[in-house]
Amino acid sequence: MRRREFTWALCSLGMAPCVGESSDPLRGPLFWLARRANARVFILGFADANDESWLTPPIRRAFQGSSELWLEVAPDKADSELINEIGQESGRTFFDELEPPVRERTLAYMAALGIKNESIKTQRPWRAFYTINSAFWSQNKPPYQEVYADQVLRELAQSEGKRIHYEMPTGEAFARFMAGMPDKAQGQYIEWLLDFLDEHKKGLDTVPFSWISGKPTASRRSLERMRTKMPDLYRVIQAQRNAWWARKIDELLRAGGTYFIAVGLLHVLGADGIPTQLRRLGVVSPSGLGENPAVGR
């Protein structure tokens, strides 16, 4: 979870093994192939990176063999005035939606980051999330040049003439989705952010690129924390969105052809991750979903 303004925050979980855990240091990122008859959908979960080592030969070949790329949020610049309108509300403050302990932690972070009360108090919690997150990373810049996997894949798709589709095709669509989250889920969104930042300050995410070798321990830990401590948030941005992706994959398999999906790492993890939902909803047969597929040359 880094500094891009309107991008799904990537988080972590690591308490219990789940789909995709492996002891093989050479296995590469978490990667699946959903298959039905001659139709194929490749699914990649990604997180922060400092190079393109995640783009392994099997993943590159799967991408090259796909006719379409599917991502989460389009990179267009939403109108700032519109985003401010969607992200603010008169008559109550940002702090009204926070539980007292979270409110105290938020005020402490605001003081440390130099965020003035007047600049944030009218924002809805989902919007304040990005204000706090941006301020934190402006003061805690990572010691490497960030490489965004979705941006790399988008540019490759454009150079190869592939069609690109999105779960949320505009910045406005993303903002309206976030604004539509229940108040309690929005408050939990702030709590989840603060837990993540606390872990970073304590040095508990000292292996930030472990997802590239298929062992995203910190991400599993953060996801489990969301599932158990923040169920309203988990239901909206994990269970419900992953079910949407499972249904979309069903549509793609029905249409035939080969497709490539790249989503934030959390969406492929846990009991409600996309791979698990594909099985649960009967989108693929037990033999129709393969992990870490060897893609032919």
Instruction: Classify residue 275: in a domain, yes or no.
Output: no
Q: What is the pLDDT of residue 5?
A: 45
- Up-side HSE of residue 224: CA atoms within 13 Å toward CB? 12
Question: How far from each other are the two terminal CA atoms of the chain, in whole angstroms?
Answer: 34
User: What is the spatial distance between Cα 160 and Cα 190, in angstroms, rounded to a whole number?
Assistant: 39
Instruction: Classify residue 189: in a domain, yes or no.
Output: yes
Instruction: Classify residue 24: in a domain, yes or no.
Output: no
The boundaries of the domain holding residue 182 are: 48-61+70-217
In the numeric block, which tokens belong to residue 62?
């799967």
Instruction: Classify residue 141: in a domain, yes or no.
Output: yes
Q: What distances in angstroms separate CA 195 from CA 62, 261, 267, one per listed residue?
A: 36, 29, 19
**Would you say how long the chain is, in residues?**
297
Model pTM score = 0.89
Q: What is the pLDDT of residue 84?
A: 79
Instruction: Specify the number of domains making up the chain.
Output: 1
Instruction: Classify residue 225: in a domain, yes or no.
Output: no
Q: What is the pLDDT of residue 297?
A: 56
Q: What is the number of other CB atoms lying within 10 angstroms of the CB of residue 72?
A: 18
Instruction: Classify residue 9: in a domain, yes or no.
Output: no
Per-residue model confidence as pLDDT tens for the chain (297 residues)? 554 444 433 333 222 223 334 444 457 899 999 999 999 999 999 998 999 999 999 999 999 999 999 999 998 776 778 887 888 887 888 999 899 999 999 999 999 999 999 999 999 999 999 999 999 999 998 888 999 999 999 999 999 999 999 999 998 999 999 999 999 999 999 999 999 999 888 887 666 788 999 989 888 989 999 999 999 999 999 999 999 999 999 999 999 999 999 999 999 999 999 999 999 999 999 899 999 887 765
- Up-side HSE of residue 66: CA atoms within 13 Å toward CB? 31
The residue type at 278: L
User: What is the spatial distance between Cα 251 and Cα 261, in angstroms, rounded to a whole number?
Assistant: 13
Q: What is the number of other CB atoms lying within 10 angstroms of the CB of residue 84?
A: 13
